[in-house]
Structure 1
Amino acid sequence: MNTTNPNTSVVPVIGRLLLAAIFIFSGVGKILAPAATIGYIEAMGLPLASVGLVVAIAVEVVGGLMLALGFKTRLVALGLALFSIVTGLAFHNAIGDQNQLIHLLKNLSMAGGLLQVVAFGAGAYSLDDKSSTPARRQLA
């Protein structure tokens, strides 16, 4: 396994898959239990809970799949990083509760990993890599 050459390393795809997994599973969970998610959004005092549910599902499932496939990766990673920060602050702000603090730190840590993807791109084995020419890949 070559982990030093960004044009052939499997490390970025493994990282993308690991980051994407939490978003995809979370989105599917919201699809399977919409009432629970709407109730949680309402309990946090946020308006338009049904709209929030649809937006969250779209961001998590579509964004997670795009990240996993490496399609429009930098833009998607930036969007997911912002989503992670906003949702962490909105839903896990009771930092006196250790569980909520851990969830907030998890969201912030995910944002940090996603910002690494923004900075360094999808890497090899991505749709972004397949759609670019070899010369463009070296510049990315």
Structure 2
Amino acid sequence: MNSNLNVSLNANPALAAAGRALIAAIFFISGIGKILAPGATMAYIGSLGLPAPVLGLIGALTLELAGATLLVVGYKTRLAALLLAVYAVATALIFHHALADQNQMFHFLKNLAMAGGLLQVVAFGPGAFSLDNRRVPAARAVA
């Protein structure tokens, strides 16, 4: 592998920020969809026999929108990415487990791919363009 390519890609701080934004987009869109059609979301949760569809809706909305926001701005990024990765796998197993249905298989694999990308953020951090990596001036010594 060309080590010069690795150095040049690692030196581009915009790539990590762009990756975080692209991963977050699906959570933003999903959260907005839940805001626009809460009844449909609760009906779907209830159709699977899960308890407390209202709490499920509130929890999903909170995690999707807050997690995506934290991911984009790069604050508490590793924690947000880990929570979203667990959420993506859990929703794959709960909502997309009918793998004989090609559409459900696609959504199952999409969720696993999202979790994989999020685990990369957990492993390698948010990158330079993030609140987690902002530069804080050193405290001045009091004379």
TM-score relative to the length of structure 2: 0.87
C-alpha displacement at 1:132, in angstroms?
Answer: 5.7
Amino acid at match of 2:108: L
Corresponding position of 2:75:
71
Deviation at 1:4, TM superposition (A): 2.3
Q: How does 1:1-140 map to 2 (within 5 A)?
A: 3-5=9-11, 8-130=12-134
- Evaluate the alpha carbon distance shift between residue 3 and residue 90 of structure 1 in structure 2; reply closer, same or farther with a 3 A threshold: same
Deviation at 1:30, TM superposition (A): 0.2
Judge conservation of contact 1:3–1:10 (CA < 8 Å) in 2.
no
Offset from partner CA, 1:21-74 (integer Å, 9 cap, x none):
000110111011000000000111111100000000000000001001101000
Q: Distance in 2 between matches of 1:11 and 1:122?
A: 10
Alpha-carbon distance between aligned partners in 1 of 2:15 and 2:82, rounded to the nearest angstrom:
19
Residue 9 and residue 48 in structure 1: after superposition, are their counterparts in 2 closer, same or farther (change >3 A)?
same
1:126 partner amino acid: S
Q: Cα offset for 1:97?
A: 0.1
Within 2, Cα distance between the matches of 1:32 and 1:62? 17
Unpaired runs of 5+ residues, structure 2, are 1-7, 139-143
- Normalised TM-score (structure 1): 0.89
Report how many aligned residue pairs link the two structures: 131
For residues 64-123 of structure 1, the C-alpha deviation after alignment (integer angstroms, 9 at most, x for no partner) is 010011010001000000000001100000000000000000000000000000000000
- Between the aligned partners of 2:23 and 2:10, the Cα distance in structure 1 is 20
Structure 2 counterpart of 1:40, one-letter code: Y
* Structure 1 unpaired stretches of 5+: 135-140
Aligned-partner SS, 1:128: coil
The aligned amino acid for 1:47 is P
Counterpart of 2:141? none
Return closer, same or farther for 1:10/1:46 CA change in 2, 3 Å cut-off. same
What is the aligned-residue identity percentage? 52
Aligned CA distance change for structure 1 residues 90 and 131 (closer, same or farther; 3 Å): farther
